[in-house]
Structure 1
Amino acid sequence: MSSDNRLQIGGVSLSSPDKVLFEEVGTTKSDLARYYEHAGTRMLPHIKKRLVSLVRCPDGRDNPCFFQRHGAKGFPETVRRLMIAEKSGEKDEYLYIDDMSGVISAVQMSTLEFHIWGSRVDRLESPDRLVFDLDPDQELDFNAVRSAAFSVRDRLADLGLRTVPLLTGGKGIHVIAPLERRREWPDVKDFARGFAKRLSEDEPERFLAEASKAKREGRVFVDWLRNERSATAIAPYSTRAKPGAPVATPVSWRELQTIASSNAFKLASMAERLTAADPWAESTGWRQSITDNMLKAVARVQDLS
């Protein structure tokens, strides 16, 4: 196919559909668009009506890539815009996804990663997910990260929060608690910070609650910073701009016990994966939120910092 040809996928016209975006596996723009079209039923509930930051790689993964969170001239209108106030008080135009045409339009612009806010555009100040990103020291193997994820799950369960695990497609695991939108960002951030600090205080040889590469040796950084306004986390079912085209993949706690790596699922294996039952299906019915008692339970460590 000539790169001058255009191809319609999901109602979106792709230019240069045969452009290779993942060189080592030969994945083209049209391959990527078809993947998202197929994965849409699973992905959309997690990304719809959330502000997004996009990792765009116009010349493929092996060439310079960049983050984009603001609207720009020539960017498809199917990727929606919203004017929001920033910390400075100034307003700027942010991007969000409303439907699959928005996802595929972002692929048309050579987007390889979708990163999402923890709230939705109709109630931007009230997050509906709590995320702990377990980021290991580079010397640790996946067994250590997996064990850390189960510990975080159990500690959150002790406080009354049920969670689901996400393989990030990199080297870590996200432990995610879906939330009802009863709290605003400051409370959610305070809880996340206090929880991570409590964990690092109780098991200092295993966990770290500060983003210090120098101090991370042999430990897992419990990244709580995803839980503040304007912070983002990789979207479930998003590809990653990494070798082999890994995909950030939801899994169940049961199957996590036998998974060998955080990038276990690649684009090439996702068709089969998507035929299996949704491992997070049960979580859609959970009704839980951060309570006053939960905030009190972590406040002691907060006060020490």
Structure 2
Amino acid sequence: MPGPEGERTVRVSNPDKVYFPDRGITKREVVEYYLAVAEPLLRAIGHRPTTLKRFVDGVTGEPFYQKRLPKGAPDWVRTARITFPSGRPADEVCPTEPAVLAWAANLGTLDFHPWPVRDTDTDHPDELRIDLDPQPGTDFADAVAVAGVLREVLDEAGLVGWPKTSGGRGVHVNVRIRPEWTFTEVRRAVITIGRRVTSKVPDRATIEWWKESRGERVFLDYNQACRDRTVASAWSVRGRPGATVSFPVRWDELADVDPEQFELRSVPGLLAERGDAHADMDQHPGGLETVLDWAEKDAAEGLGDLPYPPDYPKMPGEPKRVQPSRARKDT
């Protein structure tokens, strides 16, 4: 296949290996799928350090996250230097051309998990991401309803959101921003946006970190904005039996789609028919000034930071990282 510096050859080993037994989908089909969607996928993850979620034994096996360049990678697979919360650096795969997608798929990669940064500046996100995660007792329709409220809040902040299905029951909304803020500031912005959403629909949405406190509501997972936290990109095949795909949609169609309709065998045709709903995202970068002003007002009213993930180092200003029932018991 053509590359920026000449022809690339990607050998597909064991191409008839079945990755999705319920559908009979083989490794060859996964590779062919990623070549079919290479153009919009590279718009989504191109020049971004990207974690590979690898299913070397297909969806019935145990996946793992490849956070460093695998040994034996071709010299045309580019990397970007990232820094983990611990301070340790790593050179992570940074897709720049279709052959990299085929090479990764041959390694068993189904989901591509890009960082919200570009390779030119890996400390300042240019993408704010909000993961709307339905909790037990809620479903995709609930996530769609909360996404509509989120859109209103983003409009109030002067930001443009771009929705996509998660490939499961959830909804992801990406916002292009200028790369002028740190991960900590972007996370703070997501928390603040989440508070605005939950104040509007407290019975339907929550930013409670502890599962025991969420109830039957949609969780706005603010910790996905932490350094080294990622979500599956648009066009990624998810490791689910039906080979569903995280698919970009327009706001005016979000309520009418069935996320199960977007799957490996249907998406190439849908792309040819509908195009990429996120094609113009880069043309609408926004700023976090308004949201961070809201955050300052929240802090003055006693609404400060929220808990980080358990494997994260203790952060300045973070509240006690203990679930409410345990805290009550200890008291």
Same fold by TM (over 0.5)?
Answer: yes
Aligned counterparts of 1:257 and 1:201: Cα–Cα separation in 2: 22
Deviations 1:119-175 (A, max 9, x none): 011111121111110001121132211111111011111111111101010110011
- What is the match of residue 220 of structure 1? 218
Aligned counterparts of 2:221 and 2:242: Cα–Cα separation in 1: 25
Amino acid at match of 1:74: G
Contact 1:84 1:94 survives alignment (8 Å): yes
Amino acid at match of 1:274: L
Aligned counterparts of 2:240 and 2:248: Cα–Cα separation in 1: 18
Amino acid at match of 2:261: A
* Identity over aligned pairs, percent: 30
1:74 maps onto 2:86 in alignment = no
Amino acid at match of 2:189: F
Aligned counterparts of 1:90 and 1:284: Cα–Cα separation in 2: 30
- What is the match of residue 244 of structure 2? 246
Contact 2:131 2:173 survives alignment (8 Å): yes
Amino acid at match of 2:132: L
Contact 2:153 2:196 survives alignment (8 Å): no
Amino acid at match of 1:21: Y
Residues 1:206 and 1:263: Cα distance change in structure 2 (over 3 Å): same
Aligned counterparts of 1:177 and 1:83: Cα–Cα separation in 2: 23
1:304 maps onto 2:278 in alignment = no
- What is the match of residue 271 of structure 1? 268
Contact 1:252 1:279 survives alignment (8 Å): yes
Q: For structure 1, which segment, 243-252 or 95-104, has the greater mean C-alpha deviation from structure 2 after superposition?
A: 95-104
- What is the match of residue 176 of structure 1? 174
- What is the match of residue 157 of structure 2? 159
- What are the ranges of 5 or more consecutive residues in structure 1 without an aligned counterpart? 1-8
- What is the match of residue 23 of structure 2? 25
Amino acid at match of 1:127: P
TM-score (norm 1): 0.90
- What are the ranges of 5 or more consecutive residues in structure 2 without an aligned counterpart? 1-6, 305-331
> Quick one: which of 108, 111, 118 aligns to 1:110?
108
- What is the match of residue 256 of structure 1? 254
Amino acid at match of 1:301: D
Contact 1:248 1:263 survives alignment (8 Å): no
Aligned counterparts of 1:146 and 1:87: Cα–Cα separation in 2: 32
> What SS class does the counterpart of residue 234 from structure 1 fall into?
coil
Deviations 1:41-63 (A, max 9, x none): 11101111111111111111111
> Quick one: which of 112, 121, 124 aligns to 2:122?
124
Contact 1:165 1:251 survives alignment (8 Å): yes
Measure how far apart 1:297 and its partner are: 1.6
Residues 1:155 and 1:85: Cα distance change in structure 2 (over 3 Å): closer
> What SS class does the counterpart of residue 294 from structure 2 fall into?
helix
